Amino acid sequence: MPSQKPKIAIVGAGIGGLTLWHALRARGLDADLFEQAHELAEIGAAVALSANATRELGRLGLLDAVVAASTEPTELVYRDGRSGARIAAHPMRLGGAYRQRFGAPYCGVHRADLQRALSAGVAPDRLHLGRRLVGLDEREGAVTLTFADGGSVSADVVIAADGVRSVARRHVVGDDGLLYSGTSGFRGIVPIDRLPSLPDPQAIQFWMGPSAHLLHYAIGGDAGHVNFLAVVEAPRAWPHAERGLAPSSAAEALAFFEGWHPAVTEMIAAVAHEARWGLFLAHPLPRWRRGRVALLGDAAHAMLPHHGQGANTTIEDAVTVAELFAAQDGDVNGALAAYEALRRPRTRAIQRASWAGNRALHLPDGATAARDALIAAFPEQFGWIHAFDALAAAKAPLRSAARSATR
Ligand SMILES: Cc1cc2nc3c(=O)[nH]c(=O)nc-3n(C[C@H](O)[C@H](O)[C@H](O)COP(=O)(O)OP(=O)(O)OC[C@H]3O[C@@H](n4cnc5c(N)ncnc54)[C@H](O)[C@@H]3O)c2cc1C
């Protein structure tokens, strides 16, 4: 088996690409990161990181910076969107319940803070900004990456973490592989002192109603702001196939939530909503790799945000690829085959659960008794998502291969 280190190119310096860079470096492997943006600047939104990702960030020495900029939610609360009644509540920071159960924290963090933490320490000569991938071509064991600026580079292997509208996905599966969910979202970040009607402002809360829901959680080291995502079952068809954002307004957003609890309407009214987000997911792809090009993160398994797992599963992917590259000692094809076999079933199961979660959150009035029972059991039912240890899972097939080799 070859033992030379492969020349690795990562496309996209988002959550997946940056985590992968660190995970490779931690294992003595270098990679070049090619990012289309001219600077790394993430604006206007936050992300919730669960234990399946924070345990990996801890192993990479990146967690302290994330925790310092985060709020750990007190509880996970489900409420009726109109009356505000608490339908179910599960302790998280309270009594240390979440950390005790999963061994790592749950963090609400601004994306700019997360990006700062992930990009710190990336070698400047390995980060190539302003390089938008437009083409991939593989010949005789090498892949050529072509960029919009007309330049090209060659690598032994390409990991494409180029997000939900991945160019590399077209190369791997032959089409754009994206499906519009029939739902769209209004997002915003609001200072807590502008939300006088909000009960439990440091909890992560779902406000549920017919055909819509709103999710929010506090962010920042001082829990000074609330990040929210309001999801509605409209428009039926997305008008701009090539774009994830469409122009909108606060009036349009508020119209979906007429008659809802003031905590919900205050939050939505606090933001201008110049745009709404179409919620897209990747079709279950027939494959994640073609030759020496593999997809990672949203490029491979973009999912609905209802379990808050897009970024978390992306971080799991990154650790898995890095561990397999290191363990396979230069056998790129073996590492990529193992990566695909390990990651597809888990991410597919979470994609499915996220789709089902949307239905449970949007039931019409009068059909909610079964939903309420379901929601009361959510932490038990979906504990497998948070309990997952990606590094241990990546090491498991290697351990069993080693055992059979010594038999
Ligand atoms: C409304 C909403 C709320 C969400 N909330 C959560 C949450 O709470 N928790 C959670 O886990 N996930 C959440 N997600 C999902 C999460 O944002 C994504 O799953 C995650 O960012 C995926 O990481 P990635 O690295 O694959 O892609 P990204 O983080 O999107 O990074 C892709 C990078 O590739 C670059 N790029 C794209 N094309 C090219 C190209 N051709 N050449 C070079 N560079 C390129 C981009 O500029 C970008 O930097 C949410 C998503 C949405 C839409």
**Which residues neighbour 162 within 8 Å (Cβ) at sequence distance 6 or greater?**
11, 12, 36, 133, 168, 299
CB 299 within 8 A of CB 289: no
Q: How far is the CA of 365 from the centre of ligand 1 (A)?
A: 34
Closest CA to 276 of 297, 257, 295, 252: 252
Take residue 57 and report the two structure tokens written for it.
């960030």
- Per domain, the residue ranges of the chain are 8-71+106-177+284-361+383-406
The pick from 314, 321, 343 for probing ligand 1's pocket by mutation, whose C-beta has the most ligand atoms within 8 angstroms, reads 314
Name which residue sits closest to atom 41 of ligand 1, judged by CA. 133
**pLDDT tens-digit profile of 168-221?**
999 999 887 788 999 999 999 999 999 999 999 999 999 999 889 999 999 999
**pLDDT tens-digit profile of 84-136?**
999 999 999 999 999 999 999 999 999 999 999 999 999 999 999 999 999 99
At 381, is the pLDDT very low, low, confident or very high (cuts 50, 70, 90)? confident
Take residue 145 and report the two structure tokens written for it.
């990456």
Ligand 1 close to Cβ of residue 385 (< 6 A): no
E-assigned strand segments in 220-309:
225-232, 245-247, 275-282, 289-290, 293-295
Amino acid, res. 245: L
Q: Residue 43: what pLDDT?
A: 63
- Return d(Cα 339, Cα 223) in angstroms, integer: 37
Question: Measured in whole angstroms, how far is the alpha carbon of residue 289 from the centre of its chain?
Answer: 20
Whether 217 is catalytic is: yes
At 3, is the pLDDT very low, low, confident or very high (cuts 50, 70, 90)? low
- Looking at per-residue pLDDT, the higher value among 141 and 117 belongs to 117
pLDDT > 90? residue 364: no
Ligand 1 close to Cβ of residue 188 (< 6 A): no
Name which residue sits closest to atom 49 of ligand 1, judged by CA. 14
**Dihedral (Cα; 24, 26, 31, 33), 10-degree rounding:** 90
Residues forming a β-bridge with 228 = 188, 216
At 401, is the pLDDT very low, low, confident or very high (cuts 50, 70, 90)? low
Residue 274 CB-half CA count within 13 A: 1
pLDDT > 50? residue 1: no
Using the atom order of ligand 1, give the atom closest to the CA of residue 229.
1
At 243, is the pLDDT very low, low, confident or very high (cuts 50, 70, 90)? confident
Q: How far is the CA of 177 from the centre of ligand 1 (A)?
A: 16
Take residue 154 and report the two structure tokens written for it.
């060659």
**pLDDT tens-digit profile of 303-316?**
998 888 999 999 99
Using the atom order of ligand 1, give the atom closest to the CA of residue 14.
31
Ligand 1 close to Cβ of residue 108 (< 6 A): no
Which residue is associated with the tokens 């310096």? 13
- Looking at per-residue pLDDT, the higher value among 317 and 308 belongs to 317
pLDDT > 70? residue 366: no
Indicate the burial class of 246 (C-beta count within 10 angstroms; 0-12, 13-18, 19 or more): middle
Q: How far is the CA of 402 from the centre of ligand 1 (A)?
A: 36
Take residue 30 and report the two structure tokens written for it.
């270098």
Mean pLDDT score of the chain, rounded to an integer?
92
Residues 109-124, buried b or exposed e (16+ Cβ, 10 A)? bbbbbbbbbbbeebee
- Return d(Cα 133, Cα 294) in angstroms, integer: 14
Ligand 1 close to Cβ of residue 297 (< 6 A): yes
Pick the range with the lowest mean pLDDT from 11-15, 350-354, 362-366.
Answer: 362-366
Q: How far is the CA of 12 from the centre of ligand 1 (A)?
A: 9
Q: Which CATH architecture has domain 8-71+106-177+284-361+383-406?
A: 3-Layer(bba) Sandwich (3.50)
